[in-house]
Amino acid sequence: METTRHYTATVYVVSDGAVALHEHDGLGKWLPPGGHVDRDELPHEAGLREVREETGLDVELVAPADDIGSPTVDPLPQPQHFQLADVNTFGDHVGHQHVDMVYYARAGSRDIDPADGEQPAADWAWFTPAQLVEGLAGDHSFDPDVREIGRLAVETVDD
């Protein structure tokens, strides 16, 4: 059986010392905004589009970029993390994976206003790094990568 892979972009949006996460209705996990990179998009553009659609926020990426280029080469914002995520597994076989480029971004507001067809604002919450850790014992649970990257995003963006 063949494993299919799709490129995705994820953005950890930070405002005032907290990161925005939603309880994904299909996966039952708390996740940041993100999704598939469309054929005509660059990864960072996909991340910004997904943030706008899912949260209604216009954000500023906090991403390093090389200063090396040429008349035919432009440097792009670099993801903070580059991950391979198993999406569908069948026993020992992985049916589908996401090659995920993970960015950090700064938001000027915490006003979540999703586009039509997206999960409602009530499904979103802002979490401080301490709440990401404490959430394990409370009402929220987070995958270890979400806890750690959320913490790093707040630390990086708020510097």
CATH topology of domain 4-157: Nucleoside Triphosphate Pyrophosphohydrolase (3.90.79)
Q: Which 3 state secondary structure label does DSSP give 33?
A: coil
β-strands 93-107, 4-15: how paired?
A: parallel
**Rounded mean pLDDT, 54-76:** 94
CB 126 within 8 A of CB 20: yes
Cα 82-17-133 angle, rounded to 5 deg: 70
**Rounded mean pLDDT, 91-102:** 90
User: pTM, whole model, 2 decimals?
Assistant: 0.93
How high does pLDDT run on average in the chain?
A: 92
